[in-house]
A and B are shown apart, each in its own frame.
Chain A
């Protein structure tokens, strides 16, 4: 039996070793991963960039579908209020459960005003002072939210001292058409 050529290295199974491996000349088959690493590096950089640009500012709730808009105003990091047809959630904490009584009136919701005022006061105490930028809220509303509920949330914000209310929307292309 002749010795294997350099091009064709057979697998060594069990204790059977060919003459080449006995002489320490066996070839170690390695994958060249460099090109794959290059591709992964590009992918990771791209994903990290898109993640840090938007992902950490807004956490979209699974319970709602945001409306689409052509607005191009960038989102800022503010207190988040989520409005669905079931509940009003402030900073991740459900404050008001929506029922017929909530939808039948049009004034600010007292419990929501109290919660928002507490939050503003807490911010004031923590920072010593409060400026215009702190007095903004982002309202995430479901597409099917009724106007009365949205208006009650907005007037509650205004009464608590949050003078600027931003509606969070998903940007769609087409703003330049008109």
Chain B
């Protein structure tokens, strides 16, 4: 037998062991960095239709316009009221009220009323013009309407299939003219 004369075995058993401390150090640097720089907000976009400049005249519809353009509704936001202008006529949706947003009191509109009005309009549109798909909508505002009100309006419109919003800004006098001229409406 190949055993030492002393009777003792001199073989030393080494269990293989990884030194994990450098890895730990690396992680301790990476994790705070990633936690600080990571953003847990999901960013999305709203694609806008091409915009025109300030509307100078009333909402006249020329014969050259496509059927969809003629049928596309307009949401008019002023500092006092919100209107929905459609091929069937223009009507008031809600009056402006003050709302607390992030500690500031700002103008707001009744978007639930707008949603109901758009749902009604979508129903009428599908009934009267079932073959014409209408996706475009124009948000027509006075110059000092807040951006978040515009985005909230676009959201409500998208809920009812008007998912190609465009933005127009006009002077208050021009908007008033549009509201008065659109009040008559067109019979489907």
Contact = CB atoms under 8 A, between A and B. Distances in A.
A75 B45 CA distance: 6
Interface centre among B39, B42, B53, B102 (most CB of A within 10 A): B42
A71 B155 contact: yes
A85 to B, nearest CB: 10
A151 B169 contact: yes
B98 interface: no
Interface residues of B, number: 50
B142 to A, nearest CB: 7
B21 interface: yes
Contacts, number: 165
Contacts of A144: 104, 106, 146-148
Given A40-B31, A154-B51, A147 B145 contact: yes
Contacts of A138: 45
A24 B51 CA distance: 84
> Chain A binding site: helix, strand, loop or mixed by DSSP?
mixed
B100 interface: no
A116 to B, nearest CB: 15
Interface residues of A, number: 57
A33 B77 CA distance: 62
A51 B155 contact: no
B110 interface: no
Interface stretch (B22-30, B87-95, B177-185): B22-30
A145 B147 CA distance: 5
A9 interface: no
B38 interface: yes
B117 interface: no
> Chain B binding site: helix, strand, loop or mixed by DSSP?
mixed
A37 B23 contact: yes
Interface string A10-44: 00000000000000000000000110110011011
B168 A142 contact: no
A52 B21 CA distance: 27
Contacts of A98: none
A119 interface: no
B41 interface: yes
Contact of B102 (A37, A65, A165): A65
Nearest to A72: B44
A145 to B, nearest CB: 4
Contacts of B152: 67, 69
B104 to A, nearest CB: 8
B167 to A, nearest CB: 6
Nearest to B27: A40
B151 interface: yes
16 contacts: A44-B27, A58-B43, A66-B43, A70-B155, A70-B158, A71-B46, A73-B46, A147-B169, A148-B144, A150-B150, A151-B54, A151-B169, A154-B167, A166-B47, A168-B43, A169-B151
Interface of A: 33-34, 36-37, 40-41, 43-44, 47-48, 50-51, 54-55, 57-58, 60, 65-76, 103, 106-108, 138, 141-148, 150-151, 154-155, 158, 163-171, 178
Given A37-B23, A50-B38, A75-B44, 11 more contacts: A44-B27, A51-B34, A54-B43, A69-B44, A73-B47, A147-B147, A150-B147, A154-B51, A165-B47, A169-B44, A170-B41
Query: 10 tightest A-B contacts by CB?
Result: A148-B143, A106-B54, A47-B34, A166-B45, A143-B148, A151-B169, A145-B147, A67-B151, A40-B27, A171-B42
